[in-house]
């Protein structure tokens, strides 16, 4: 997805030209993303495309502007598979009341929504639709299957955070799967193809180093907003990983290991030119503390911390305070 693609769609719609949205640009409609979903198929993107008119151009223009401005925003899709059920009022004693109108006109729709809850769409949504449109800001939707007859999909208009996994350990393989599942872009690095295999890291970009060690790590350059998890097999190359991460001043770096091992790594990291301040930037041990022991449990701990760091990074102190208050914390 690019702002140029969105602007091009808007221009075609304003000129009265037919557009065909692609699952390559809107991967929430890919066969992989919809696997097991009996209500939606990739064909639904074609149906939504065919229904677009010039009135939808402002939605795509606003989405393009959001990408240009780095806004925390989404392009959403209302997919209706049973119009009568979608329009029926299904309020009960549990759900919040949304009036006597169900899902507007029972037709599909493309819309824009950002974290400030600004909504742009070609048609006026019903109160129930607005509730679900706003919910895509929880990405892609906290209650997308709540009401009968329709569902909601979305694509983020901001870049994924990249997580570098230094080492193809068992814990790293578990982290890779979980991190990809919650929306991170994952790059796994190791020198042994037997460990850094497609089977162990199916959702990650894999970087195979030559030389039987991590000397070639210096040929790689992370972005300043990236996260680094130092998870080398047997901790053998943890010092190299830590030095590489702090040298590039990444947003977050964490290292797995016990207190005694970390003391040794500390001395090796400083001997390689890092400062004491650099060392203090490294979260050690990596992950939230809740008694995790196995690789899978450790991965839950680590990815939970990554999610928390990403949450803090994306939202203002005011927005976080409102969220914490809503949770009663």
pLDDT tens by residue, 25-37: 999 999 988 888 8
Percent of the chain with pLDDT over 70: 95
Contact 284, 258 (CB under 8 A): no
Burial class (CB in 10 A: 0-12, 13-18, 19+), 148: middle
Domain that holds residue 78: 3-156
pLDDT tens-place string over residues 51-95: 999 999 999 999 999 999 988 899 999 999 999 988 886 666 777
My answer on whether 302 and 239 are in the same domain is yes
Q: What is the mean pLDDT of residues 291-301?
A: 93
Q: Is residue 198 part of a domain?
A: yes
Q: Which pLDDT score, from 0 to 100, does residue 98 have?
A: 72
Residue that wins the pLDDT comparison between 116 and 24: 24
Pairing, β 162-166 against β 185-190: parallel
Q: Is residue 322 part of a domain?
A: no
Q: Which pLDDT score, from 0 to 100, does residue 142 have?
A: 58
My answer on whether 301 and 223 are in the same domain is yes
My answer on whether 70 and 140 are in the same domain is yes
Q: Which pLDDT score, from 0 to 100, does residue 226 have?
A: 97
> How wide is the angle at C-alpha 151 spanned by C-alphas 145 and 156, nearest 5°?
100
Q: Is residue 328 part of a domain?
A: no
Contact 110, 124 (CB under 8 A): no
My answer on whether 18 and 145 are in the same domain is yes
My answer on whether 117 and 183 are in the same domain is no
First to last CA, the chain: 37
Q: What is the mean pLDDT of residues 159-188?
A: 95
My answer on whether 227 and 140 are in the same domain is no
pLDDT tens-place string over residues 245-285: 999 999 999 998 776 777 889 999 999 999 999 999 999 89
Q: What is the mean pLDDT of residues 286-308?
A: 93
Q: Which pLDDT score, from 0 to 100, does residue 139 have?
A: 60
pLDDT tens-place string over residues 215-237: 999 999 999 999 999 999 988 99
């Amino acid at each position: 997805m690019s702002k140029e693609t969105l602007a091009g769609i808007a221009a075609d719609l304003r000129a009265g030209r037919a557009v065909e949205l692609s699952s390559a640009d809107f991967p929430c409609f890919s066969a992989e993303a919809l696997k097991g979903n009996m209500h939606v198929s990739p064909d639904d993107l074609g149906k939504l495309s065919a229904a677009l008119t010039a009135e939808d151009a402002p939605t795509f223009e606003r989405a393009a502007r959001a990408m240009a401005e780095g806004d925390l925003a989404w392009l959403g899709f209302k997919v209706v598979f049973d119009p009568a059920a979608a329009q029926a009022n299904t309020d009960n004693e549990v759900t919040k009341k949304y009036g006597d109108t169900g899902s507007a006109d029972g037709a599909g729709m493309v819309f824009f929504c950002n974290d400030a809850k600004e909504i742009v769409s070609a048609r006026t949504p019903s109160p129930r639709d607005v509730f679900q449109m706003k919910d895509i800001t929880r990405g892609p939707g906290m209650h997308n299957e709540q009401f009968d007859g329709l569902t909601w999909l979305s694509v983020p208009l901001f870049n994924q955070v990249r997580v570098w996994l230094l080492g193809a350990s068992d814990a790293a393989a578990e982290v890779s799967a979980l991190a990809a599942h919650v929306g991170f872009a994952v790059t796994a690095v190791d020198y042994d193809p037997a460990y850094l295999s497609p089977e162990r890291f199916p959702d990650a970009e894999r970087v195979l180093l030559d030389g039987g060690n991590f000397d070639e790590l210096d040929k790689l350059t992370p972005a300043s907003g990236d996260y680094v998890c130092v998870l080398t097999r047997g901790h053998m190359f943890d010092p190299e990983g830590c030095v590489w991460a702090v040298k590039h001043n990444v947003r977050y770096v964490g290292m797995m290991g016990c207190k005694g091992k970390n003391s040794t790594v500390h001395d090796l990291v400083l001997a390689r030119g890092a400062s004491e301040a650099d060392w203090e930037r490294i979260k050690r041990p990596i992950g939230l503390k809740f008694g995790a022991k196995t690789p899978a449990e450790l991965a839950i701990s680590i990815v939970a911390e990554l999610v928390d760091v990403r949450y803090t990074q994306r939202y203002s102190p005011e927005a976080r305070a409102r969220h914490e208050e809503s949770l009663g914390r």
